[in-house]
Amino acid sequence: MKPLQTLLKWLDENTEKVIILITYSSMAGIIFVEVVRRFLFNQQVPWSTTVPVLLFLWVTWFGASYNIKKRTHLALTEIRSRLSYKHQFYCLVLDAVLWIAFAIIVIYHATSQTYIAYDNFAIVGGTDDVMEWWFYLATPLAWGLIVIRVLQNLAQDIRQYQRKEPFVLQASLLD
């Protein structure tokens, strides 16, 4: 059981980082290579303008999940820090409820759009066999991870409230 726990802990700590690193590096690599090819050799693959944009979906949504995990998202900290301890807790619970409600809406509609792309065999412009739904899948997957991160934060907030410990209102992305 120890290797499984180690793997799950590693995934919990690094999922967003790995996905962001791979997709951002892929975007940068494609753009760099194609700029060089365009200016030095007057050549360019047709998909070089569409794939980086679609990879950006992965960077964006998994970046949002990472920011929620680290609590570096927009949180109106200045207002919350002036509230009583109990009201700070209520705001954190309200945050979680709103995030989850919004996530349900996003996941529902993004899954519908992904399924439409899948059902219609939508192919990325400039390619012969790269499916658009592979890229669109980023939105429901990342928002599912956002729900997990929100629930993890809520569990931590409840434990802190029960112990009367101060809440994490202002986090740093570098922690």
Query: 72 pLDDT band (50/70/90 cuts)?
Result: confident
Specify burial of residue 44 (Cβ count, 10 A radius: 0-12, 13-18, 19+): middle
3-state secondary structure (DSSP) of residue 72: coil
Sorted by where each begins, the domain ranges of the chain are 2-163
**Mean predicted confidence (pLDDT) in 17-46:** 96
Cα separation of 66 and 69, whole Å? 5
Instruction: Kindly report the pTM of this predicted structure.
Output: 0.90
Cα separation of 92 and 98, whole Å? 10
Asked whether 25 and 3 are in contact (CB, 8 A), the reply is no
Helices 51-70 & 138-163 angle (0-180, nearest 10)? 10
